[in-house]
Amino acid sequence: MKKDTFDFSKFGFLLHTIIGGLACLLTSTILYVVLQGGVAFLAALDSLGLLVFDESIYALQLLLFGLVFLPSGFIGGLYTGHKVKENLYIILVLPGLISFILFIFLFNVDLIGGIMIQLSGNILGSYLGGYTMNWPPKKDVEENRKKLMVSS
Amino acid sequence: MRLSLFRPRLPFLIFIIIILVSSIIGYAIINSSIATHTSVLRGDYFRLKTDYLEVDFPKSWYSGKAEDINQTFGNRYIVYLAPIYLRAVVFFRIYDEKATQSFSYEHNITNMFSINSFEINQLFNSALAENINATLSIIENSTITVSTHEASYVVVDIKNGLKDNDVYYNLTGIFISLIKQGNNGKIIKQIIFYGEENDWNQTRDTFMIILNSIKI
């Protein structure tokens, strides 16, 4: 009689997704602390007073998006994309989402620019990282195209 | 022969491009913001212009604003400025007509001096929470002209009113209030500047520049 056993391999992707999310969270935290939530840019320019102007806040949001949340999502996506090879278009949303939720709950940070900057940066970065790991080399693409042309 | 040593994958290229574009645009906006908001009279000051307040303040000071919008109790606008590395802060609080009514009714405000008294009590109570032996002295109580309006001001000193790293310091503050006639009633405007005595004295000259630049 076949023994019922729990097949861990089916859920391996979940573990790698969580590890990817934690990598994303760790990178977000380090970059956010190093850049002091974007205030470091203004302090370097001796212009902390800009915080009172709306357009400066938007500029800081853009900088945080590009220099903190997108790269951290990318790191999480690289790991997840390296370990998981199937259903990437669904799975890659998870590292960014996990990191986003944990970051908000753990640190209760009043993010300059709000939560959308972090969420979109983490998820977009995660997709780009995941697909960077799984992007077919140019040689394969050309070979496939040749095969298609021959077969037709 | 084609160069094929480093051929980045498309998602990685997109990633790099997004980083570069967002950094360049963000940095450009910050620089243009510095140029736009620099005070015409003082190069090392910004000029903040809002519907309810115009003021110059040092570029290096930490700054922020908040709008407390409430349909029932009216709107309250707050701007705060603080020098970094010094324990002092400047507040501007502006109540609209509705908020002025609610504030006056709630705290039994009848004139400019009673606004200052209320704020001083608030500060003194918070000092007492830190140190039960804190003592309040009123140093000066008079009127001053702020942006062509007559305002009431009170200078206070709270002995041992600030606790920092288990050491007690004296608190000094100036509370300025004025009541202005708005379109639909009276409007309360407050300027509060307080901090640790030595730090307060160090920033006093800058505060006077700020005060003289105000347009309310």
Are the C-beta atoms of A92 and A122 separated by less than 8 Å?
no
Mutate to test the interface with B, among A48, A51, A141 (most CBs of B within 10 A): A48
State pLDDT tens for residues B104-140: 888 888 778 888 889 899 999 998 988 888 899 999 8
Q: How many CB atoms lie within 10 A of CB A124?
A: 21
Asked if B24 reaches chain A (Cβ–Cβ under 8 Å), the answer is no
For A56-111, how does the pLDDT look when each residue is reduced to its tens digit (9 = 90+)? 988 988 999 999 999 999 999 999 999 888 888 888 999 999 998 888 887 766 65
Asked if A28 and A72 count as a contact pair (C-beta separation under 8 A), the reply is yes
Kindly report the average pLDDT of chain B as a whole number: 88
CA B120 to chain centre: 17
Q: In what order do the strands lie in the sheet with B135-146?
A: B62-68, B76-82, B88-95, B186-196, B167-181, B149-164, B135-146
Chain A positions in Cβ-Cβ contact with residue B63 (cut-off 8 Å): 48-52
**Binding-face residues of B in 51-80 toward A, CB within 8 A:** 57-65, 79
Residue of chain B minimizing CA distance to A137 = B9
**How far, in Å, CA of B46 to CA of B60, rounded?**
9
With CB atoms and an 8 Å threshold, state whether B64 touches A51. Answer: yes
Calculate the average pLDDT of chain A: 83
Whether residue A51 lies within 8 A of chain B, CB to CB, comes out as yes
pLDDT at A13 over 90: no
Q: A138–B7: do the CB atoms touch at under 8 Å? A: yes
